Amino acid sequence: MTGTTTGTDWRAWQRSWDRQQEWYMPDREERFRVMLDMVEAIAGPEPRVLDLACGTGSITDRLLRRFPNATSTGVDLDPALLMIAEGTFAGDDRVSFVTADLTTPDWWEQLPHDSYDAVLTSTALHWLHREPLAALYGQLAGVVRDGGAFMNADHMIDELTPRINEADAALRRARRERERAAGALDWAAWWEVVGRDPVLAEATARRFAIFGEHAEGDTPSLDWHVRALREGGFAEARGVWASPSDAMVLALR
């Protein structure tokens, strides 16, 4: 995966990111499938999508494989992950990327379109605390077209079920330790590999200057997300998928 920018295997970097994420979320592909099922049901097979906090473009990759006539705008602030995404989709005129900080009040003004059929995000917005996340939901109500959809699949912890939460967490820890022993990379180990790559090293250093090791956000319950989206201007909102620790909320304008 190393070499010059033009010789870098960007797809290999994206696959390695996916493997690292799957170490934490073995049901990751299932949430993507449900997400795209709902996109098709609401927006049809040729949607204009905003891939919010897109990272390496994992959602965009699956979107275009399923819907070849879709278009996607990826937005993120992470220079290293965006570098991988831009390399992966270089030359694909269905895809564009925007560097923006979602905590700023006017980030959406940088987008190439005024509205989108669907805004999709996965395992990213837990970097935000409740207040800025609620503010973001209000901004997204102005980005999604009338009748369009917003979906967020993320860690959504129900604090009213502590014993269930701990049982699930213990099972996940044991599974991850087995996979680590077999050579799986966790978050820190993956970034260590990326930081040693001569092409990505500088962007990785900038990434850690922006975010630190890992941002400390919130993981409120699904019910909180539903309320915040309705209060932010969405007409309907409810959960459409769940695992013991994660859930996906779908909201319609």
Residue type, 113: H
Distance CA 12, CA 84 (A): 9
10-252: CATH architecture: 3-Layer(aba) Sandwich (3.40)
* pLDDT single digits (tens) 198-226: 999 999 999 999 998 776 788 999 999 99
Q: Provide DSSP, the chain.
A: --S-TTT--HHHHHHHHHHHHHHH-TTHHHHHHHHHHHHHHHH-SS-EEEEET-TTTHHHHHHHHH-TT-EEEEEES-HHHHHHHHHHTTT-TTEEEEE--TTSTTGGGGSSSS-EEEEEEES-GGGS-HHHHHHHHHHHTTTEEEEEEEEEEEE---TT-HHHHHHHHHHHHHHHHHHHHTT---HHHHHHHHHHSTTTHHHHHHHHHHH-SS-------HHHHHHHHHHHT-SEEEEEEE-SSEEEEEEE-
**pLDDT tens digits for range 62-81:** 999 999 999 999 999 999 99
pLDDT at 3: 40
Asked whether residue 4 carries a pLDDT value surpassing 90, the answer given is no
Please name the amino acid found at residue 194.
Answer: V
What band does 5 get if pLDDT is binned at 50, 70 and 90? low
Q: What is the pLDDT of residue 46?
A: 98
* pLDDT value of residue 182: 86
Residue 183: predicted pLDDT: 84
Render pLDDT for 117-163 as a digit per residue (tens, 0 to 9): 999 999 999 999 999 999 999 999 999 999 999 999 999 999 999 99
**Residue 1: pLDDT over 70:** no
In angstroms, the Cα distances linking 88 to 75, 109, 112, 146 are 15, 25, 20, 32
Instruction: Render pLDDT for 21-35 as a digit per residue (tens, 0 to 9).
Output: 998 999 999 999 999
Contact 226, 239 (CB under 8 A): yes
Q: Answer whether residue 187 shows pLDDT above 50.
A: yes
Token pair for residue 154?
Answer: 């993320």
For CA atoms 13, 82, 30, 28, the dihedral sign is positive
Contacts 24+ apart (CB under 8 A), 159-166: 159/221, 160/221, 164/244, 165/245
Across the chain, mean pLDDT equals 94
Segment 28-64, tens digit of pLDDT: 999 999 999 999 999 999 999 999 999 999 999 999 9
- Spans of all domains in the chain: 10-252
Is a pLDDT exceeding 60 seen at residue 232?
yes
